[in-house]
Amino acid sequence: MGHLEREAVRYLGYGKHAVDDGTLALIAESFADLRKVAEQKSIYRIFALSHGETGGAGRLAIGGLQLESRNLAKNLKGCGEAALFAATLGVGVDRLIRRAEITNMAKAVVLQACAAAYLEEYCDACQERIAREARREGKYLRPRFSPGYGDFSLSYQAGIMRMLDCAKQIGLTMTDGCLMTPIKSVTAVIGIGTVGAACHQGGCGACRKRDCLYRRD
């Protein structure tokens, strides 16, 4: 089983339990279907980062975007810049999942997990490209941190998407309920500093919930 397949199994919540052959076949089929319809797009911009004088409150400014999150502030400690980042798999993936929800709910569940793993792999690749560019300037990245992690409110997605002009640049919009369209999309903040730090790109590295069913070992 390859990395992508293992990630899909993790998203399906199997943990350490064995996966049956039928599910493995659905996973393989789902990834094949996703590769046919996915249109991966991403955008990022780098802004100056300032920390509020009362650092304990988690007040931050990234460009003109004002934020408040203790968890994000801790993630960005020591950084003078931050990249705002957004990525999507495109509307074709949404259509694929919706069709499966009508005809084959088991397949739809597996597609959701596979799409999440596929998006994460794409984001990791994008972040590695940003990291290579940063290293040329003697700078290093922190783990990407998305709205919805810890106390970093989902409501900040609107500001990130506005500053990146996501609707025009990559076709990514948001509903009044803070849901992104296409659904398989992500926004994130990536700290940039001049001191190297361990940078596990996946969300588990920044999450303190140790008993999570989906957590990596």
Q: Where are the domains of the chain?
A: 3-206
Rounded Cα–Cα distance for residues 41 and 150 (Å): 26
179 three-state secondary structure: coil
pLDDT at 153 exceeding the cut of 90: yes
pLDDT tens column, 86-109: 999 999 999 999 999 999 999 999
Q: What percent of the chain has pLDDT over 70?
A: 87
Digit-coded pLDDT (tens) for 46-73: 999 998 765 456 899 999 999 999 999 9
pLDDT band at 206 (very low <50, low <70, confident <90, very high): very low
Query: Average pLDDT of the chain?
Result: 88
CB 96 within 8 A of CB 33: yes
Q: Out of 30-34, 164-168, 177-181, pick the least confident.
A: 177-181
Pick the more confident residue, 179 or 96: 96
**Six-digit token string for 14:** 């199997």
Q: Is the peptide bond before 182 cis (omega within 30 degrees of 0)?
A: yes
Burial class of 206 by CB neighbour count within 10 A (0 to 12, 13 to 18, 19+): buried
Task: Record the tokens describing residue 60, joined without a space.
Answer: 């931050």
* Other CB atoms within 10 A of residue 165 CB: 13
pLDDT for 13 equals 86
Q: Which of 82, 50, 54 is nearest to 70 (CA)?
A: 54
CA 86 remoteness from chain centre: 8
* Topology of the domain comprising 3-206: NADH Oxidase (3.40.109)
Residue 135 to residues 47, 128, 179, 195, 202: CA-CA distances in angstroms? Answer: 17, 10, 34, 11, 20
Q: Which two tokens stand for residue 47?
A: 């802004």
Picking from 142, 146, 150, the residue whose alpha carbon sits closest to that of residue 69 is 150
Give residue-wise pLDDT tens across range 182-205.
Answer: 999 999 999 999 986 654 444 544
Cis peptide before 143 (omega within 30 of 0): no
